[in-house]
Structure formats: C-alpha cells, structure tokens
Structure 1
C-alpha cells in the first residue's frame, strides 16, 4: 500500500563559503540544478525560486526596507519536496550539492489547517503555551 505524500517547504539559508573558489561553487550550482530538475520531473519536488536581495519588512503598520537578518539567516530561495515523511524529505534535501559550500536547508511540513489563536504554533508566545 502506498503511503500518503505530503509537501515540505525547503528554505535555503546562508551565504557561500568565502574560502571556496567561484568555480567550485558554480560547479555545485550546476549540479544542484541537474539534481533539482530531475526530482521535479520525477514528481519528488515542486518548483520554487531564488529570492532577490531587496525586499520590504512590514510590521505593526510600518513598511521599511529589508530584509533584515544575520548573514547565517539570510533566505536565498525556496522549493518544495513531496515525500511520505519529514525524515524522507530531509534525506532527499541532504543530497543537495550546495550544502558543501556554506548553505543550510530548513525543511518544514506544510500545515493546511487554518490558523486559530488557541492552537500552539510557531507564532504562539511562550506565556500562551501554558495550558
């Protein structure tokens, strides 16, 4: 029996290792796109995109230039993995050739449920977590 497939967001973070050569990084990028496109064709991934460096930060009714993040937290792009479990998605993501050159990947399951203030979520402040 086939296990149900779920979608997982992959967030690419960080910057290239400055000690690596541009040629080695480009080779990893080229290998990444071959790997990525193969998995897209096989239905194991869904398209994402690189993110442009400019952006806006919106909070409390204010709009400012951004994004504002530490170098290790800079989000460079995203895509999706289709897998039966978070572990399977992470194993697939771990094969990304760009990991050898300073990037990190965050794998997150998508939650199709509508948000409710009574649920414990990423946005829940610590005092609310006490039941």
Structure 2
C-alpha cells in the first residue's frame, strides 16, 4: 500500500478555468457537488483506501521566515500560479495506477448544470523514507 495526497486545485484567475466558478453555481449544484465528494469518500472508506480529507477555506496567506523580526506575509493562499488549493484527500492504495484512477474519478465531480468540472488534482506520493546521498 502507498499513500497519496490529492490536492484539489481551482484555477485562478477565472480566464484559465475550464468550468464555471463555484460562486456562480446554484445552491442545488453546490449540494450535488458536496454530495458527490462525500459519496466518493464513503466508497473509499468501504474499500479501505480512505485515510482523511478536508475542505479548505479560500482565505489564507503565505508566510516565510525573514530572519529577525516580523516574517514577510503575502496575499494568498495562492501559489505563484494563482491556483486556489480548495481541499485535499489522502488515500492509501495498492498502486500508482489505482491512485491515478481515483484522482480521475474525483476530478469529474459535478459543477454547473451537473456537468463534470474536470478540476485539476495534484497527486503526490507520501515520502516513505528520507532521501539519502551516495558518495
């Protein structure tokens, strides 16, 4: 088994989005999206592949140590691409191919009009051992 982190990216700014932003969905469309996400997590719980998940607030900042004094803070929580990390899910699966399969399924969550939003998911394996340097 291998653990993977699936990060849900919402593309920013709006002209790079392949779907209608959630703030333009009806309450019923938002409910359908959340129900899909919950059903997906329940399916993974049943298969033993679910570890944890959490939606994230769109508010946040980047902080970096700037030496003595107050650390610098930037607008955010956007990476340089101005993507918004909307949430995450940790899965524990038998193979990378299974992780890809599940990420593709999660990407198809419904959006405006019930159509799949095909959102970007970043799939990252957990580091299972510290990197070493051979001399």
Structures share a fold, TM > 0.5? yes
Runs of 4+ in 1 over 6 A off after TM superposition: none
Between the two proteins, the alignment pairs up a number of residues equal to: 113
Q: What SS does the corresponding residue of 1:36 show, helix, strand or coil?
A: helix
Cα distance per residue 1:65-100 (max 9 Å; x no partner): 4223445x2100011111122111110221224261
C-alpha RMSD of the superposition: 2.7
Match of 1:79 in 2: 89
Match of 2:72 in 1: 63
Match of 2:32 in 1: 27
Rounded to whole Å, the distance in 2 between the matches of 1:110 and 1:6 is 8
- The alignment's TM-score, normalised by the length of structure 1, stands at 0.69
Cα distance per residue 1:1-22 (max 9 Å; x no partner): xxxx110111011168327743
Match of 2:14 in 1: none
Q: Which runs of 5+ in 2 are unaligned?
A: 12-16, 111-115
Does the Cα contact within 8 Å between 2:58 and 2:84 map onto a contact in 1? no
Rounded to whole Å, the distance in 1 between the matches of 2:58 and 2:29 is 22
Match of 2:101 in 1: 91
- Against the structure 1 CA distance between its residues 36 and 67, is the aligned structure 2 distance closer, same or farther, given a 3 Å change threshold? same
Cα distance per residue 1:14-43 (max 9 Å; x no partner): 168327743334313212211212212431
- Against the structure 1 CA distance between its residues 60 and 12, is the aligned structure 2 distance closer, same or farther, given a 3 Å change threshold? same
- The alignment's TM-score, normalised by the length of structure 2, stands at 0.67
